[in-house]
Amino acid sequence: MNCPSCQQDLPPTARFCPSCGTPCAPAAPAPATAAGDQRKPVTVLFCDLVGSTALSGVLDPETLRTVTLRYFDAMSAEIVARGGTPEKFIGDAVMAVFGVPVVREDDARRALAAALGMRRALARLNEELRATLGIELAARMGVNTGQVVAGSQTTARQALVSGETVNIAARLEQNAGPGEILIGPQTLLAAGPTVSAESAGPLRLKGKRDSVVAHRLLALGADDPELLRRFDVPFVGRREEGLALDAALESAVRGTGAGLLRVTGEAGIGKTRLVREWLARRSATGGLSYGAGRCRSYGDQGTLAPLADAVRALPALAPPEAPSQEGPSHGPSHGPSHGEEAGGLAVDDAMALLSGGLLRDGTPNAPFEDMCAALAVVLERAARLRPVVLVLDDWHAAAPLLVRTVNRLTDGTGCAGLLVVCAGRPDGPGAGDEHRGGAARLQLTGLPQEEAVRLAAGLTGPDGGPARVVERLLARAGGNPLYLEQLLVGDREDAAASAAPGAQEDLPPTLQALLGARIGGLARGERAVVDLAAVIGREFTAPELVRLEQSVQTSEGSGAGPLAGGGDGERRRRVDETLAALGRRRLVEAGPPGGREEDAYRFSSGLVHEVAYASLSKRAKAEAHAWAAELPSVLRSGDGAVGGHLERAYRYRAELGLLDDRAGRLRDRAAAALGRAGAQAAARSDLHWAHGLLERAVDLCADDAAATRRLGEVRVALGRTEEGAALLRRVRDAEAAPVEAAHARLALAVLGPGGPGPGPAATARAVLPVFEAAGDSTGRARAHLRLAQQLQRSGRHEEAERDQARALEQAVLAGAEPERAAALGAIGISLWRGPVPAAGAVVRCRTLLAAHGPGRPTVRVTLNCPLAVLHALQDRPDEAYDCLAEADRLAGKLGFAEAEVFLPVFRAAVEALLGRSTAALALLDRADAAARRTGATGMRTAVALDAARLELDEGRADRAGARLAAVGDAPGLSRADAVDLAGLRARLAAPERPDEAADHAERAVRASLLTDSPLVQATAELDRAHTLAALGRPAEAAACARAAKAHFAGKGHLPGSRGAAGLLARTPGAMTTTTRERS
């Protein structure tokens, strides 16, 4: 057994960790939760007398007892009158619970009303006591709301409720003054805006590490509960809204681009039902194709999974038929066949691109623009067969990237005949200002009275119900279809409500309370199915329930479960019957068309699922999650889903103190699965998803070197350099896992050793044998990349090709996108800086992009940057800016922190080549600030040198000198930077220190000849020409300018050639030679 905090081994009988002191339960199994115990939200009220001890010295014991009983009776009457349950009387204190045995939507409000009533009742009692005994009682109260474990046996010796919520209520009461009522923050929130209270400040409560923000209750306004929850409901009315949907589709069909419609309304108002009924009506005649997806604020899914679900649900994309001569096509032209192109991209290629990312698992691993273009091609083709509608439900939970993707898909021309319908609440991430303003909007309001009456008649069936009850429910529903449906269903399930006047008041007055009461009141078999389904998720199948129930019962060593008995066929029959009964109660429904299984079901809403799951005990959740991880559907969903179930199973057991060997195995399996999922996400450059998965893996198992190392690398990539480096050092210094230690050593060497130590190349040579022996392709790719980069720093670009090729080969074998991108980026740098002429370098870059770019945004970023500069060398500004724009768009989605540095540097290089030095300097300053912020100190020297050259070329020698002063004698300069530094110093020294200037210029040229870079050589010769011209040596200056021009011309560097020619023309004594050259 291990400590849940520090993972140290524990003695078998340890109650506290000997290392960190964390409380630990012994390995022996804890007693099972009582059969009737449930988790539920309640409000707890404590009331205690102040100064009662002094009364014992004044009153006779029998009189004191009579006074105390009268006080208890008065307080209890107020509690019971508002639906509370007095749980216990301790000394002079009263404890009451609101929410047991029946949960109500306004339990918090009821508790506050009871507290105020108790204060008034005590005032009335004091009037009598003053008149008869000459004494007064003073009381103080505390009220708190939260989750508790509630028992069903109110007469048992154990407490009716237990948990921290109870303790905080008691502490609030102890901190209140005489006559005061202190309430906790959750009570204030749950009771709603009609509460009048003033802050009592943050309180340090005994037993609580953090302070609790308390409020002093003053008054309670009129009851006006808000209806905030939503479900799907039977459809009625909404004719005008249906016509609005028709109009939106017709507009999309007749227009030149896709249509976008936002359907908004409060929870439960009928958005989903409206769209579903409309789709059924329009598709009944074959008039459209549609697919739907649902946004979720939680779960193991890709960022774009809702869109992927909707697209996957569309019918297969068969080749379009020839248009009928008897009827016009709805689009202006006919779609291409599979082999044809639309928008420059073949349909087959588009499907292949989408199938490798978006349609596979909903992750944005394709380049954003390419993914959107491919999606547009596929949807445009489908829309030319018949109109296409994509429905994205629960849009208020949409991720920002999904919002941007939909905006991009529906912004501009193309995809005529496509309508995207985004239905959701008016709040949440998907409903903010990120959505483009041009989207049409359809706002749903409550049903008119006549339509609500029709809906009530349809829900109650031919038997109907007491008109007075239905009328009251209509008033309470306020036109919200879901509220009305749930109220009527609850009324029909309660036989007493339909038989006795006034019994309807026993129904919970709000939707949340009604759901809690309905789920809690299910028959044993029905509740068992709901509980198991809640663990599986929003959607589930009957076979999954059978398998999970059997596994749970077997593991508990009990065959007495409500679904037990008989073979698999008999269990399946009972589950099917139970699901049918739950369907009639509208707690579950058949799964959506095109779902993952034919016999799939789902909870009628996410809220039903949440309420059902929340009411399960931790022990039940732990057991069910452990077995749910082995369901075939979960295994098919991948390591993220498996790890999620195992993680919850372990954490619930740990919270219960069940830290036995089984808990350890669950923890290890969860950490391994989440680590694998995180590694896969990192390999696809999905940094944020990878970070979340890896962080959970390391939190579960701090000794997992692979997950720790990957988490460190991801944090460095995200710009959290110090945190990442600390994790990498931990792995490097560990005794085990030599491969992981090798990865950590190399990553730390790249960051900089922070003192004496080997650099990246030396470290790469040292760890390469470790990677070779382990067959670690990713490690080999990284090592060869660092060796290639060292050769690049020496200016030996041709020699670097061998290691660059090996790095790329190994990255491809590993399926590692970041390493592939880094290797290709290094190749691009050598094509720019090395001896290959610019025209040939452009061709090579484009070839590499075509081979490696599709589906790999990181690759497109790293190759487009040097390609942009190569275009600028050839005076092609439009192509250069296009490359930079694509790199900017993609980098913004990936999250790599280093992009904040290198993207401005490349853009500055392009601007400088195009003669826009002011813009280039601003970009370099931005890059320097980003490098300082992210800790990329190595880039700051190159940025300073580039900026100094621009300043000097503009005649601002003082500013150039200030820029160079920041460089100083920086150690470890690359050869190109050293050449640059010497040449710039020569030009600055020429006016006053001629000997020093000549020496610097000569040294720069000599050093440049050690490289194979025509750009470095040309720049050194040009700097020497400037220096010699300033020293009054025109003939030598002209010779250097001609040499620079030749180097630039050999590279195809047109701006450089013009600059050298211009200097040559301005150099006295060079005109004769120049004229002779022209002839």
The predicted pLDDT at position 462 comes to 54
Confidence of residue 461 (pLDDT cuts 50, 70, 90): low
Dist. CA 998–CA 985, nearest whole Å: 10
The predicted pLDDT at position 365 comes to 65
Per-residue pLDDT at 88 exceeds 60: yes
Where are the domains positioned within the chain?
38-198, 239-319+334-445, 527-616, 982-1079
**From 100-104, 695-699, 926-930, 1011-1015, the region with the lowest mean pLDDT:** 100-104
Per-residue pLDDT at 787 exceeds 60: yes
Of all residues in the chain, what percent carry a pLDDT higher than 70? 79
**From 359-363, 830-834, 851-855, the region with the lowest mean pLDDT:** 359-363
Dist. CA 17–CA 3, nearest whole Å: 6
Confidence of residue 1079 (pLDDT cuts 50, 70, 90): very low
Confidence of residue 6 (pLDDT cuts 50, 70, 90): very low
Return the C-alpha torsion angle 850, 852, 854, 857, nearest 10.
-120
The predicted pLDDT at position 570 comes to 83
CB 323 within 8 Å of CB 329: yes
Instruction: Give per-residue burial for 888-926: e unless 16+ CB within 10 Å, then b.
Output: bbbbebbbbbbbbbbbbbbbbbbbbbbeebeebbebbeb
The predicted pLDDT at position 10 comes to 59
Per-residue pLDDT at 885 exceeds 60: yes
Closest listed residue to residue 652, CA positions, set 692, 613, 691 = 613
**From 154-163, 248-257, 517-526, 872-881, the region with the lowest mean pLDDT:** 154-163
pLDDT, greater one: 663 or 416: 663
Dist. CA 660–CA 642, nearest whole Å: 21
Q: To which residue do tokens 């508002």 refer?
A: 82
The predicted pLDDT at position 420 comes to 93
Average pLDDT rounded to a whole number, residues 653-664: 90
Per-residue pLDDT at 812 exceeds 70: yes
SS3 content of the chain, % helix, strand, coil (to 5): 60, 10, 30
φ/ψ of 116, rounded to 5, equals -65, -40
Average pLDDT rounded to a whole number, residues 99-114: 82
Amino acid found at 803? D
CB 929 within 8 Å of CB 953: no
Rama region for 494: left / alpha / beta (φ>0; ψ in -120 to 50; rest): beta
With a CB cutoff of 8 Å and minimum separation 6, the contacts of 1075 are none
The predicted pLDDT at position 803 comes to 95
Dist. CA 558–CA 895, nearest whole Å: 51
Write a three-state SS string for 275-300: HHHHHHHHHCCCCCEEEEEECCCCCC
Confidence of residue 342 (pLDDT cuts 50, 70, 90): very low
Q: Which of the following CATH numbers is that of domain 527-616: 3.40.50, 1.10.3470, 1.10.10, 1.20.58?
A: 1.10.10
φ/ψ of 125, rounded to 5, equals -65, -40
The predicted pLDDT at position 796 comes to 96
Return the C-alpha torsion angle 774, 777, 783, 787, nearest 10.
130
In the chain, the N- to C-terminal Cα span, in Å, equals 90
Q: Which of the following CATH numbers is that of domain 38-198: 3.20.20.140, 3.30.70.1230, 3.40.50.12140, 1.10.3720.10?
A: 3.30.70.1230
Beta bridge partners of 345: 342
Amino acid found at 390? L
φ/ψ of 45, rounded to 5, equals -120, 130
Where is 920: in which H helix or E strand? helix 917-934
Per-residue pLDDT at 112 exceeds 50: yes
**From 192-206, 239-253, 417-431, the region with the lowest mean pLDDT:** 417-431
Per-residue pLDDT at 19 exceeds 60: no
**From 221-225, 277-281, 497-501, 773-777, the region with the lowest mean pLDDT:** 497-501
pLDDT, greater one: 212 or 32: 212
CA distances from 893 to 352, 714, 824, 867 (A): 22, 15, 20, 20
CB 275 within 8 Å of CB 290: no
pLDDT, greater one: 222 or 291: 291
Q: Write out pLDDT tens, residues 988-1037.
A: 999 999 999 999 999 999 999 999 999 999 999 999 999 999 999 999 99
The predicted pLDDT at position 344 comes to 55
pLDDT, greater one: 42 or 5: 42
Count Cβ atoms below 10 Å from residue 754 Cβ, excluding itself: 9
The predicted pLDDT at position 496 comes to 34
Of all residues in the chain, what percent carry a pLDDT higher than 90? 43
Average pLDDT rounded to a whole number, residues 579-599: 73
Q: Indicate the average pLDDT of the chain.
A: 81
Count Cβ atoms below 10 Å from residue 948 Cβ, excluding itself: 28
CA distances from 1049 to 246, 873, 1046 (A): 64, 11, 5
Q: Write out pLDDT tens, residues 269-289.
A: 788 888 988 888 888 877 788
Where is 182: in which H helix or E strand? strand 181-183
Dist. CA 253–CA 424, nearest whole Å: 24
Q: Is the dihedral of CA 734, 736, 738, 740 positive or negative?
A: negative
The predicted pLDDT at position 487 comes to 60
Residues in the chain, total: 1079
Dist. CA 840–CA 846, nearest whole Å: 10
Q: Write out pLDDT tens, residues 466-486.
A: 565 666 666 555 566 666 666
Closest listed residue to residue 684, CA positions, set 362, 348, 345, 306 = 362
Dist. CA 879–CA 863, nearest whole Å: 14
Per-residue pLDDT at 338 exceeds 50: no
Strands 414-424 and 257-264: what pairing? parallel
Average pLDDT rounded to a whole number, residues 599-621: 80
Average pLDDT rounded to a whole number, residues 282-310: 79
Write a three-state SS string for 520-561: HCCCHHHHHHHHHHHHHCCEEEHHHHHHHHHHHHHHCCCCCC
Where is 138: in which H helix or E strand? strand 138-150
CB 248 within 8 Å of CB 261: yes
Dist. CA 745–CA 332, nearest whole Å: 61
Closest listed residue to residue 138, CA positions, set 152, 125, 156, 150 = 125
The predicted pLDDT at position 363 comes to 81
Distance of CA 274 to the CA centre of its chain: 29
Q: Write out pLDDT tens, residues 520-555.
A: 667 888 889 999 999 998 889 989 998 898 888 777
Average pLDDT rounded to a whole number, residues 132-136: 90
With a CB cutoff of 8 Å and minimum separation 6, the contacts of 173 are 46, 47, 48, 93, 140, 141, 142, 182
Beta bridge partners of 146: 42
pLDDT, greater one: 667 or 99: 667
Tokens of 141: 């109260």
pLDDT, greater one: 878 or 595: 878
Q: Angle formed by the axes of helices 1054-1066 and 1034-1051, to 10°?
A: 170
CB 681 within 8 Å of CB 697: no
Dist. CA 406–CA 403, nearest whole Å: 5
Count Cβ atoms below 10 Å from residue 255 Cβ, excluding itself: 15
CB 538 within 8 Å of CB 609: yes
**From 122-126, 352-356, 539-543, 822-826, the region with the lowest mean pLDDT:** 352-356
Tokens of 854: 């599709």
The predicted pLDDT at position 355 comes to 83
Class of domain 239-319+334-445: alpha beta
Where is 202: in which H helix or E strand? strand 195-203
The predicted pLDDT at position 894 comes to 84
Dist. CA 127–CA 8, nearest whole Å: 64
The predicted pLDDT at position 552 comes to 85
Dist. CA 96–CA 124, nearest whole Å: 21
With a CB cutoff of 8 Å and minimum separation 6, the contacts of 315 are 289, 382
The predicted pLDDT at position 434 comes to 45
Confidence of residue 510 (pLDDT cuts 50, 70, 90): very low
Average pLDDT rounded to a whole number, residues 360-368: 77
Confidence of residue 954 (pLDDT cuts 50, 70, 90): very high
CB 396 within 8 Å of CB 348: no
pLDDT, greater one: 354 or 232: 354
Dist. CA 614–CA 428, nearest whole Å: 22
Q: To which residue do tokens 């919200």 refer?
A: 480
CB 388 within 8 Å of CB 410: no
Per-residue pLDDT at 33 exceeds 50: no
- By the 10 Å C-beta count (0-12 exposed, 13-18 middle, 19+ buried), 809 is classed as middle
Strands 257-264 and 600-603: what pairing? unpaired
SS3 825: helix
Strands 388-393 and 414-424: what pairing? parallel
φ/ψ of 776, rounded to 5, equals -90, 100
Confidence of residue 557 (pLDDT cuts 50, 70, 90): low
CB 529 within 8 Å of CB 582: yes
Per-residue pLDDT at 503 exceeds 50: no
Dist. CA 648–CA 283, nearest whole Å: 42
